[in-house]
Amino acid sequence: MSDSPLIFKSKAFALEIIKVCNEVKSTKRESVLTNQLIRSGTSIGANIREAFYGHSKADFVAKLQIALKECAESEYWLELLIESGYYSDKTVLQHCTELKRMLIASLTTAKSRS
């Protein structure tokens, strides 16, 4: 499980989100968007980890779907931060999109094996 690319990428993304939010909070004094982003951005990895310990395949799929929803929400908050001028580095948004694609692919695979 710990060698799963999805677990590795989601944890790296969560750490990146924490850094982005801390930077925006300290330099721009913005907290509404960053509070939402830190919740959704760190929730992705938590739900992925829970999925690997699910009781059933249905539980696994349900947790990955929650992770995907949190990823889409994080993408929205990142877009708002970038488009409003609070944050300018689009790399984190690209990482979010990559993670979203991985989640979609994993869900597609898991559902096809049901």
- List pLDDT tens digits, range 42-53: 999 999 999 999
Are the CB atoms for 60 and 52 separated by under 8 Å?
yes
Identify the pLDDT of residue 113.
84
Q: Both tokens of residue 108?
A: 């597609």
Q: What angle is formed at CA 102 by the lines to CA 32 and CA 93, rounded to 5 degrees?
A: 35
* Strand ranges in the chain using DSSP code E only, listed in sequence order: none
Of 23, 40, 16, the C-alpha closest to 95 is 16
Identify the pLDDT of residue 3.
81
Residues in the chain predicted with pLDDT less than 50, given as ranges, are none
Are the CB atoms for 33 and 77 separated by under 8 Å?
yes
Identify the pLDDT of residue 80.
97
> Domains in the chain, please, with CATH?
5-112 (1.20.1440.60)
pTM: 0.94
Are the CB atoms for 6 and 102 separated by under 8 Å?
yes
